[in-house]
Chains A and B, each alone.
Chain A
Amino acid sequence: MEKYDIVIVGGGPAGLAAAISARKSGIEKILILERDHELGGILNQCIHNGFGLHTFKEELTGPEYAYRFMQQVFDEKIEYKLNTMVMDISAERIVTAMNREEGMFQIEAGAIILAMGCRERPRGALNIPGYRPAGIFSAGTAQRLVNIEGYMPGREVVILGSGDIGLIMARRMTLEGAKVKVVAELMPYSGGLKRNIVQCLDDFGIPLKLSHTVVDIEGAEHLSAVTIAEVGKDGKPIKGTEERYTCDTLLLSCGLIPENELSRSAGVEMNPVTNGPVVNESLETSIPGVFACGNVLHVHDLVDFVSQEAGLAGENAAAFVKNGCKDLSDEKGIDIVATEGARYTVPTTVNVDRMNDLLTVRFRVGAVFQDSYVSVYFNDERVMHTKKKIMAPGEMEQVILKKDKLKSFDGLNKITVKIEHE
């Protein structure tokens, strides 16, 4: 069986950044396994700009952003296999993969980095009643059809859900000559970035209806109309508020789900809030030597943060390999708990001995908060209290923990992140 120091599952933004960082940390034998016919992952179909503002201080398109990382992978001569599907990962870090040329094969990995990304929540999971005709797409599938395949799904569009891909596709379909009639969002707030609401909807006069959902789908063969209605506080449609829109296309942008089938079958412990693995400060999962980063860990808002996070995973996987494929310390570390407005944190534990000088703890809020504070408590003592003008579920938040602060706090056994009004 062939052996690699680090096997990276997925050659999208997370996998690429993890590979580069592992190489820079001195690991020679690295292999990226990518299921598509090119590296870059979902960025290849994200031809709009706005990527890389944090990382490169300039606005790139998705493919351009991906290429900056791909170039480094090529320069560093990091090995990768395309058109290769990982079929199984075992707790013993045996990776089973398959492609046309080599058939099914197994690799023994010193460490594994999970970077499989996420998928979209389909119509079936949304319990929208009505017919099941052609013309209903998840926004990302439509994005692929338009941007990669070069085909338009239709001309009159309704979008359910205000996730970022849906917003981007509202603009994209408009630019291609389609009429986007309305974007309906079940929640009283948008699921996407503020800048996308402005640039993709407001600038094109596309109405966003918050607290609305689709209550009927018409068309036995092809979609012909949808009905949307306002929903009450209980999330149920309010009778009498129905509005019918004729349309031939319904795009769904109702949430992303980390793709953790491989992680689950390997026995990795999962976080029910993020649908991603539970990880420690090293982004290591419950299986020693198996790390996770990017959208497979938790859904990000900006790819820059994916790259940052993946860099850390690569570095820590390298440290694990250099330590003879053993963790530097077996201690679990201090719990990081999200509460009162903060839905989750990544990571959920920190081992002070293993952490870098600074540790970014990322989280999302569960509702819109105005003029509120992000607070961090060490045990019962508030140690951070930062005012934020606005926080929304569509945007990721972070706090940075300092190693010296954690070290010097006597008897620290719990770190709490919460949102406070004052």
Chain B
Amino acid sequence: MIYDCLIIGAGVTGSAVARELSRYKDFNVGVLEKGEDVCSGTSKANSAIVHAGFDAAEGSLMAKMNVEGNEMMDELCRDLDIPFKRNGSMVVCIHKEELDGLKDLYNRGVANGVKDLKILTKEECLELEPNLSDNVEGALLAPTGGIICPFLLNIAMAENANVNGVDFRFNTEVEALKRDDKGIWHIRTNNGEYLTKNIVNAAGVYADEFHNMVSDTKIHITPRRGDYCLLDHEMGDFVSHTIFPQPTKLGKGVLVSPTVHGNLIVGPTAIDIEDKDATATTADGINDLMEKAGMHVRDLPIRRKVITSFAGLRAHEDHHEFIIDWVDEAPGFFDCAGIESPGLTSSPAIGRKVGNMFKEKLGLVEKTDWISKRKGIVETKNLSIEERNELIKKNPAYGNIICRCESITEGEILDAIHRPLGARSLDGVKRRVRAGMGRCQAGFCSPKTMEILNRELGIPMEEITKSGGRSNIVLERTKGGRD
């Protein structure tokens, strides 16, 4: 079979594009993902922020996508039934001589079309955020800034694309691309060859490699590592806005922000590296993070309240700009490259832009029966006793708590496993329903979740993984445990 379009990468960009392309009639779309699940690369480790859009350079595609993506987020999150909160962002200035920088940001934001920006005095800052450092001199307030769950945004868009007919192939790593004389692309993977008329390159930090396979106009992407610390729920209301320092050349700096699930996130660092898989944190990175976070807020007890630290890689293209276009010399090949921050925010706008460009070029016609909405997994901890009991009466699994830290029931885990593009690993479950995401970090629930995966999917215990590949949890039966 020949696909009309194959997307490389099931991250947030690939999934947004997949969802938009699923709108069209008689247009066969697939996604090739080397991980065992969606949201396995760059998309899974970031600040979880919906940026307002004052940061990107005036007139850039990045700025346009950011502001458009931000504006799309309310409706999209309603349609996809995922949490989103406009908590507002504050860029905090702690040096009097840098106050002009806030004004520059303000002007850039206005030029980019960011609404309701305001410059705050020291007093206004401290009134809004009493835990800001005493050194605060002023801040730029962007009420349109928000927080979101990056996993759920990615997963929900992919699920919705799948329901609308997009085929997802996991554990499928693209090795080579070739276009034959009939104009058909041959994609060689570890799982055989795929044929397609069009390709969307949404490969995150690897997007340069695929682009450079088909084009002489080379691009270069640097993995820019960001270390993060996630703090206990106890710290979730330490600040209510997302607190940024003033931006530097290397990025937007170390932010302190509540998450949409009630934790506090601190990060990222910005360290350029070579290895595109090097998501290891370093002691220097974490120390740097703690020092920088402490400059803008007061007495943040990171060391005592951290529940996990992790690192993500931004796909930093040399010109710090999104590349979203057809590649002229490779007909049918479309780049979504250099999608670094604000990529998460921009993803819905990128998806829409790609969809429109495909529609225009290929003369696509929209389906009349396209399904725009998705019902999310019920979050039982937000239900009243009556609502819970109604649910438990229908399905007793909703009365059985598996993850005690996050109060996640067996019913929620079953839904995560059995819905379209369901979870098949511990991390897959975690990213969909947060089981194992709490303060004990899966110490108690991982054996139970393994049993559920074993029972529901028939995966032998020895083959259950943390996140696919060789990440098996257990090796073999014990001596006494052997049959």
Binding site for B on A (CB under 8 A): 35, 83, 85, 87, 96, 98-104, 106, 119-120, 122-125, 127, 129-134, 137-138, 140-141, 144-146, 148-155, 176-177, 215-218, 220-222, 237, 248, 261
Closest Cβ of chain B: how far from A359's Cβ, in Å?
32
B443 touches A146 (CB 8 A): no
16 new A-B contacts at CB < 8 Å, known A122-B307, A132-B310, A151-B461: A83-B400, A96-B385, A100-B396, A101-B396, A103-B389, A104-B399, A122-B443, A125-B439, A127-B286, A127-B306, A134-B467, A134-B473, A141-B447, A150-B477, A152-B476, A215-B283
Closest Cβ of chain A: how far from B460's Cβ, in Å?
10
Kindly name the residue among A83, A104, A131, A220 whose own CB sees the greatest number of chain B CB atoms within 10 A: A104
**Chain A CB within 8 A of B251 CB:** no
**Chain A CB within 8 A of B363 CB:** no
**Chain A CB within 8 A of B401 CB:** yes
B479 touches A176 (CB 8 A): yes
Given A124-B309, A222-B472, are A151 and B399 neighbors across the interface (CB < 8 Å)? no
Residues of A within 8 A of B466 (CB): 133-134
Q: How far is it, in angstroms, between the C-alpha of A152 and the C-alpha of B475 when the chains are bound? A: 6
Contact check: which of B282, B397, B399, B440 meets A122 at CB < 8 Å?
A: B440
Closest Cβ of chain A: how far from B401's Cβ, in Å?
4
Contact check: which of A101, A150, A218, A221 meets B471 at CB < 8 Å?
A: A221
A133 touches B471 (CB 8 A): yes
B445 nearest CB neighbor, chain A only: A141
Given A119-B440, A134-B465, are A222 and B470 neighbors across the interface (CB < 8 Å)? yes
A145 touches B401 (CB 8 A): no
Q: How far is it, in angstroms, between the C-alpha of A381 and the C-alpha of B61 when the chains are bound? A: 77
Residues of A within 8 A of B444 (CB): 119, 141
**Chain A CB within 8 A of B189 CB:** no
B303 touches A127 (CB 8 A): yes
B399 touches A101 (CB 8 A): yes
Residues of B within 8 A of A176 (CB): 478-479
Kindly name the residue among A87, A124, A131, A154 whose own CB sees the greatest number of chain B CB atoms within 10 A: A124
Q: How far is it, in angstroms, between the C-alpha of A152 and the C-alpha of B478 when the chains are bound? A: 5
Contact check: which of B281, B306, B385, B479 meets A177 at CB < 8 Å?
A: B479
Q: 9 closest A-B pairs (Cβ-Cβ)?
A: A150-B481, A124-B308, A122-B441, A100-B396, A151-B474, A134-B471, A134-B466, A103-B389, A85-B401
B227 nearest CB neighbor, chain A only: A129
- A–B Cβ pairs within 8 angstroms, 28 of them: A85-B401, A85-B404, A98-B392, A98-B401, A100-B392, A102-B399, A119-B439, A119-B443, A122-B439, A122-B441, A122-B442, A122-B443, A125-B306, A127-B283, A129-B283, A130-B281, A133-B466, A134-B471, A141-B442, A145-B473, A146-B478, A148-B447, A149-B447, A151-B474, A151-B476, A152-B474, A152-B475, A154-B475
Residues of B within 8 A of A154 (CB): 475
Residues of B within 8 A of A133 (CB): 466, 471
Q: How far is it, in angstroms, between the C-alpha of A127 and the C-alpha of B283 when the chains are bound? A: 8
**Chain A CB within 8 A of B183 CB:** no
Binding site for A on B (CB under 8 A): 230, 277, 279-283, 285-286, 303, 306-310, 385, 388-389, 392-393, 396-397, 399-401, 404-405, 407, 439-444, 446-447, 450-451, 461-462, 465-482
Closest Cβ of chain A: how far from B392's Cβ, in Å?
4
B447 touches A103 (CB 8 A): no
Given A130-B280, A132-B310, A150-B478, are A221 and B440 neighbors across the interface (CB < 8 Å)? no
Q: How far is it, in angstroms, between the C-alpha of A216 and the C-alpha of B443 when the chains are bound? A: 21
Residues of A within 8 A of B308 (CB): 122-125
Residues of B within 8 A of A218 (CB): 280
Given A100-B392, A100-B396, A104-B388, are A151 and B477 neighbors across the interface (CB < 8 Å)? yes
B407 touches A151 (CB 8 A): no
A220 touches B277 (CB 8 A): yes
B399 touches A221 (CB 8 A): no
B399 touches A153 (CB 8 A): no
Residues of A within 8 A of B401 (CB): 35, 85, 87, 98
A103 touches B472 (CB 8 A): no
B441 nearest CB neighbor, chain A only: A122
